[in-house]
Structure 1
Amino acid sequence: MTAEYSAHHLQVLEGLEAVRKRPGMYIGSTDSRGLMHCLWEIIDNSVDEALGGHGTRIDIVLHPDGSVEVRDRGRGIPVDVEPRTGLSGVEVVFTKLHAGGKFGGGSYAASGGLHGVGASVVNALSERLDVEVDRGGKTWAMSFHRGEPGVFAGDTPQSAFTPFDKSSELRVAGRAAKGSTGTRIRYWADTQIFTKDAGFNVAELEQRARQTAFLVPGLELVIRDERPAAAEGDAPIERSFRYDGGISEFAEFLAPDAGVTDTWRLSGTGHFTETVPVLQPGGAMVATEVQRECHVDVAVRWGTGYETVSRSFVNIIATPKGGTHQQGFEQALMKVLRAQIEQNSRKLKVGNDKLEKDDILAGLTAVITVSLPEPQFEGQTKEVLGTPAARQIVSSVVAKELAARFSSPKRDDKSQTALLLDKVVSEMKARISARTHKETQRRKNALESSSLPAKLVDCRSNDVADSELFIVEGDSALGTAKLARNSEYQALLPIRGKILNVQKASISDMLGNAECASIIQVVGAGSGRSFDIDAARYGKVIMMSDADVDGAHIRTLLLTLFFRYMRPLIEAGRVFAAVPPLHRVIVVNPGSKPNETIYTYSEQELHALLAKLTKSGRRWQEPVQRYKGLGEMDADQLATTTMDRSGRTLRRVRLEDAEAAASVFEMLMGNEVAPRREFIVDASARLDRDRIDA
């Protein structure tokens, strides 16, 4: 480091040097996320061809040597000479930043590609890249080493490489079938750039391929994983994605709950003008006012739950952080639904309460797509749309189409819009009620009045982190648990039988159920969107039910309540299931030595213990006690085995994959009977018949 700083210290990075020096600017990071971004830059170019009506299939192949190949049947990258550079179109696309056919030249009406840097960035960050193009009855080929064109002596990145000296060559590698066009790109990511643990995430690749197939009806994307770790025996894994239903089918796929409304399609077109620099034939950039067309296509449906699932796209490029199109969509929803509720305020008994955005978004599944030439994004990663005019156009289209749905004379539309208004109003009332409850509820000590349920047996400690709430099954178990607990930090809440299945019930039914309302009130952190984990009154919530089928059902119902309305507790790892023993074995000791008591927690563990005792010549009292319920234990036994921290076992409820968990809850606890019946039939062989108390 020197104090001197002059023009001699400035560096000008030319060509692809800038990409290799600062890869994060172009692909976000150099870990697996950046590696996947590179792959999607190549795939998106093929998808843009399919969007233009050229080709209906894209193949993505993960090769055993770590390379990846993308094949399409589009028009093929131009192979003729670009006049300004004197280079072939293939070399221009892969070696020149901000070079491509998506700058308004008429080749693409709307495309995901925008900046002309995708292919060249991938080339710069690849140890080797091979491209083959079928055009004009010939197959043209070219290879690159870290962005530099040349010739490899072999088929691997480690093969000897000879860069072109004076002029580069796009060689003819063979003949192509008459009328056949397309592009094949295979590349090896550069280990000098990417981290050692960077790898292709097949699950993420499949998810995005599925998403793209939904957004481009009729396009088939095939993923073939030939890597040894992924192969099933000798056969590679191959998955294909094609959907002809478009974003309506996408919304149904994404929806986590049963529908209150059908999937509504809201479509329209708007026009706007903007001043942009336009490249003239002579090479000069001239500011020109151009007319743009923005096509809007939205699929929405409301479900019985409170989760919001929203996906937004611009020219089929996902914008996970939203942008002006998302803002316009939400603005239109607020405008239309507020107007409808004001018109029906007496019927809906709204009073002076004001509708908020969260009330409308509860239970909403939406897919928002806009298509327009040269959209403005924030950065090369294209996560946020910045085109200002998109907001008003989307808002206008959605408001018009949604208002038409509410004013439709069709019986089906009338019933669905009425159900939607009821849902939105009930969400608003639940939010206001939860906020009021949260503002008034405080942790009470023994000297203060308490509005908590009378059946709650609270603990003395005010230390939330150390306290535990046991949800126990029935009054008989409560009586034993009272004597077994440590009253300093263990609280008890009995529930009567099986609580409401909240996966099927509405929010109002759930809040009206005494057992569900008591649990939410005792936990003290609210429910649904208003749930505040910092306000929870206990550090652990422990479900303590009998070790039989009914006890398992009660745990499932409780988990459904926690998953749907108090999910942050599960995500924070604060929900547990107690593990009471199944058997008590009293081992007889000789002489005056007291007998030994051993508890076992499964049939296998019991048989292993008895076999061990038999082998060592020891006797036990017959019959071995089999606990059918917690009420059969005395206080000392319950404390020793299930409640005392020094000897108990707890199973922490984990949430590894929220989407997978949501689909399982919907299958097991939802309204659709057929998937549940299929699951029961398939899983019946795994049932332990001895656990059925019959």
Structure 2
Amino acid sequence: MIVTSEYSAHHLQVLEGLEAVRKRPGMYIGSTDSRGLMHCLWEIIDNSVDEALGGFGERIDVVLFPDGSVEVRDQARGIPVDIEPRTGLSGVEVVFTKLHAGGKFGTGSYSASGGLHGVGASVVNALSERLDVEVDREGKTWAMSFRRGEPGVFDGEGPDAPFTPFEKASTLRVVGKVAKKVTGTRIRYWADRQIFTKDAAFGFTELEQRVRQTAFLVPGLELVIRDERNGDSTESVFRFDGGISEFAEFLAPDAPVTDTWRLTGSGSFSETVPVLQPTGAMIPTEIERRCDVDVAVRWGTGYETVTRSYVNIIATPKGGTHQQGFEQGLVKAIRSQIDQNARKLKVGNDKLEKDDMLAGMTVVLTVRLPEPQFEGQTKEVLGTPAVRQIVSNVVNKELTAQLTSSKRDDKAQASQLLDKIVSEMKARISARTHKETQRRKNALESSSLPVKLVDCRSNDVAQSELFIVEGDSALGTAKLARDSEHQALLPIRGKILNVQKASISDMLSNAECAAIIQSVGAGSGRTFDLSAARYGKIIMMSDADVDGAHIRTLLLTLFFRYMRPLIEAGRVFAAVPPLHRVIAINPGSKPNDMIYTYSEQELHALLTKLTKAGRRWQEPVQRYKGLGEMDAEQLASTTMDRSGRLLRRVHVDDAEAAARVFEMLMGSDVAPRRSFIVDSSDRLVRDRIDA
């Protein structure tokens, strides 16, 4: 490539229309991997949701097809099919080929919507190898097709069919008839693989989460998603007639301290915006805006904070002025109440911080306003400045009213909440004071570690491992089998406390849980500090039976609830001890072969292989019921020696889904667990029960 110092006007490149989208897709959809692919789908779905918000259509269908295409169907008003006077094009072609064109710039079609830049549908079209749109309107079905944003006609199905672009004028075809009152839009498109990466794919789980979220936010709207990619059809239907109160209850990971409180209100502000005149000129005009605020908030017994914020149904995962306003109003209201009750709450001279109030809080924050200012097309951050103060005022006023309510239940909940917040403050201050004692102890300080801990000699955290061993009998064998330089051992007696049901104080007072937290040395809960962990790997080593699996589940529950960063960092493992030892007999004086298997299937396959080879083995085949049945050499070679062992890393791909599973299997609410057992009984394989 030759670089010249000459730089003049002819070096400037002007990208016309949708060329700019194809040249710089990241500006419009964030990335060209699966996230960008999903963002395109959100753009189409959100257009249908905006119609439902306006009272048009009660159902939206999303279908994923085996050929990689996706279709979105709604029963709304349908995209306009008449001619737009300025361009001379049909409304359908304007929507799909012109950037910054749509019905959401003024105040006539949508009072509050998520699609505000007028580029969503046209960007999806530009980044699609093929896009087909059908509109039911005026008693007819109208259709139009596009190839990478260019209108024309395909001769056949799929994106590889021959394509003929329109030469002189585009045509909106009539392909059928419908009843006069039937309206709606169907959009099917194939993402352009010239733009998106090879591994970009629609995630059904992610789609389910987003559609479920929308169903919560638009009460009464039914959303159906169907995945036909694997030959069969997987369908999920979402409809919630509640609202964000129901959403907050769904998201909450812990038992309640308060009910779900609704904080609602509104405010107005003025802003100067350029308004398009009939002459085509843009004239700055001062416009009065209204912002409606609706918040559902509740506090639970845990320490996690779950926050979801939305602007006109569009998620804003990175927050913005509305979230800043919520936190501002929250801090103001709660600080005021704690100051007024300082003596009763025994606050002393300690200063309350925002994090103390957020602990255990689940909040769904929604605001609706015309033409919000987002930072970028991906709409992840709200930028409208005036919204902050409006939300702050509403939250401060409504939350103060809730905390000072004279109703008996409200007074009791307010008292419990303030007690919890003050307790969080004291725990934070205490944790900071004793933080240094959570660091890795040297030899002189080892007396402060659990008595049963058999520590390793190395100070290299990356190379050190902590084995949590089931029972004292296995500990004796493990001591002889371990690498004492890098491997530490902590025995636990039987089954530890089920921390999913227990309170934090019960967990901390439990000897086994306290010993594990103390040995790891990084604290627990909100004060957990991953950098202070004393070991690079935490390995659960339990027996290969039902009780061992139960102990492993209880340990995972402890790590998941109170030391989750360890799992997220991939530092928690489960050891995989063998189930069987087969001694294959060799002829003559040659030593016999000792072969270990890890499942019944593997054992049967091995015995079949030995039989075919004409080899015998010692009977009976040894079946290990526990780690204590192995001698040190066997335990080392199969389970502890780094060169030959097998470990299973514990992953948390979806923390929210995992939390719900833990709550169902280990929580205090029996009904969902009973339903799960009854519904799943037909999948039980009796031969797999170790009894």
Q: Same fold (TM over 0.5)?
A: yes
Task: Judge conservation of contact 1:502–1:561 (CA < 8 Å) in 2.
Answer: yes
Q: CA deviation at 1:379?
A: 0.9
Counterpart of 2:276, as a letter, is: L
For residues 425 and 108 of structure 2, the distance between their equivalents in structure 1, rounded to whole angstroms, comes to 49
- Distance verdict in 2 for CA 1:181–1:627, change over 3 Å: closer
Q: Percent identity?
A: 82
**For residue 675 of structure 1, what is the aligned residue in structure 2?**
672
**For residue 358 of structure 1, what is the aligned residue in structure 2?**
355
**For residue 392 of structure 2, what is the aligned residue in structure 1?**
395
Does 639-648 or 400-409 show the bigger shift? Answer: 639-648
For residues 588 and 189 of structure 1, the distance between their equivalents in structure 2, rounded to whole angstroms, comes to 60
Task: Judge conservation of contact 2:137–2:180 (CA < 8 Å) in 1.
Answer: no
For residues 219 and 448 of structure 1, the distance between their equivalents in structure 2, rounded to whole angstroms, comes to 62
- Distance verdict in 2 for CA 1:670–1:449, change over 3 Å: closer
Q: CA deviation at 1:491?
A: 1.7
**For residue 281 of structure 2, what is the aligned residue in structure 1?**
284
Give secondary structure in 2 for the equivalent of 1:184.
strand
Task: Judge conservation of contact 1:258–1:670 (CA < 8 Å) in 2.
Answer: no
1:70-125 CA-to-partner distances (Å, cap 9, x unmatched) read 22222222223323233332222222221111112421111111111112222222
Question: 1:60-459 alignment to 2 at 5 Å?
Answer: 60-226=62-228, 229-232=229-232, 236-448=233-445, 450-459=447-456
Q: CA deviation at 1:335?
A: 1.9
Q: CA deviation at 1:522?
A: 1.2
- Distance verdict in 2 for CA 1:486–1:333, change over 3 Å: same
- Distance verdict in 2 for CA 1:498–1:348, change over 3 Å: farther
- Distance verdict in 2 for CA 1:146–1:497, change over 3 Å: closer
- Distance verdict in 2 for CA 1:601–1:205, change over 3 Å: closer
- Distance verdict in 2 for CA 1:115–1:685, change over 3 Å: closer
**For residue 620 of structure 1, what is the aligned residue in structure 2?**
618
For residues 367 and 167 of structure 1, the distance between their equivalents in structure 2, rounded to whole angstroms, comes to 49
Question: 1:639-654 alignment to 2 at 5 Å?
Answer: 639-654=636-651
- Distance verdict in 2 for CA 1:582–1:295, change over 3 Å: same
- Distance verdict in 2 for CA 1:663–1:13, change over 3 Å: same
Q: CA deviation at 1:325?
A: 0.7
From 546, 551, 556, the counterpart of 1:554: 551
Counterpart of 1:25, as a letter, is: M
Instruction: Using structure 2 for the length normalisation, give the TM-score.
Output: 0.91
Task: Judge conservation of contact 1:225–1:231 (CA < 8 Å) in 2.
Answer: no
- Structure 2 unaligned segments of length 5 or more: list them: none
Q: CA deviation at 1:321?
A: 0.8
- Distance verdict in 2 for CA 1:15–1:603, change over 3 Å: closer
Task: Judge conservation of contact 1:445–1:460 (CA < 8 Å) in 2.
Answer: no
**For residue 28 of structure 1, what is the aligned residue in structure 2?**
30
For residues 620 and 325 of structure 1, the distance between their equivalents in structure 2, rounded to whole angstroms, comes to 72
- Distance verdict in 2 for CA 1:547–1:405, change over 3 Å: same
Does 447-456 or 75-84 show the bigger shift? Answer: 447-456
Does 280-289 or 647-656 show the bigger shift? Answer: 647-656
For residues 654 and 421 of structure 1, the distance between their equivalents in structure 2, rounded to whole angstroms, comes to 36
**For residue 690 of structure 2, what is the aligned residue in structure 1?**
691
Q: CA deviation at 1:160?
A: 4.3
For residues 570 and 26 of structure 2, the distance between their equivalents in structure 1, rounded to whole angstroms, comes to 34
For residues 331 and 300 of structure 2, the distance between their equivalents in structure 1, rounded to whole angstroms, comes to 18
1:147-203 CA-to-partner distances (Å, cap 9, x unmatched) read 233344445444444444443333433333122222222333333333333333333
- Distance verdict in 2 for CA 1:171–1:530, change over 3 Å: same
Q: CA deviation at 1:654?
A: 2.8
For residues 194 and 290 of structure 1, the distance between their equivalents in structure 2, rounded to whole angstroms, comes to 41
Give secondary structure in 2 for the equivalent of 1:620.
coil
- Distance verdict in 2 for CA 1:452–1:3, change over 3 Å: same
- Distance verdict in 2 for CA 1:599–1:136, change over 3 Å: closer
1:466-497 CA-to-partner distances (Å, cap 9, x unmatched) read 22212223334334433443322222222233
For residues 15 and 618 of structure 1, the distance between their equivalents in structure 2, rounded to whole angstroms, comes to 77
For residues 477 and 149 of structure 1, the distance between their equivalents in structure 2, rounded to whole angstroms, comes to 72
Task: Judge conservation of contact 1:258–1:671 (CA < 8 Å) in 2.
Answer: no
State the superposition RMSD in angstroms.
2.9
1:319-362 CA-to-partner distances (Å, cap 9, x unmatched) read 11110111111222222222233333333333332222222222
Give secondary structure in 1 for the equivalent of 2:7.
coil
Q: CA deviation at 1:261?
A: 2.4
Give secondary structure in 2 for the equivalent of 1:185.
strand
Q: CA deviation at 1:423?
A: 2.8
Task: Judge conservation of contact 1:588–1:621 (CA < 8 Å) in 2.
Answer: no
- Distance verdict in 2 for CA 1:40–1:476, change over 3 Å: closer
Give secondary structure in 2 for the equivalent of 1:691.
coil
- Distance verdict in 2 for CA 1:194–1:593, change over 3 Å: closer
- Distance verdict in 2 for CA 1:612–1:65, change over 3 Å: closer
For residues 502 and 361 of structure 2, the distance between their equivalents in structure 1, rounded to whole angstroms, comes to 17
Task: Judge conservation of contact 1:222–1:238 (CA < 8 Å) in 2.
Answer: yes
Task: Judge conservation of contact 1:213–1:243 (CA < 8 Å) in 2.
Answer: yes
- Distance verdict in 2 for CA 1:117–1:485, change over 3 Å: closer
Counterpart of 2:51, as a letter, is: E
Question: 1:566-577 alignment to 2 at 5 Å?
Answer: 566-577=563-574
Q: CA deviation at 1:598?
A: 5.7
Q: CA deviation at 1:395?
A: 1.4
**Number of equivalent positions:** 686
Q: CA deviation at 1:313?
A: 0.8
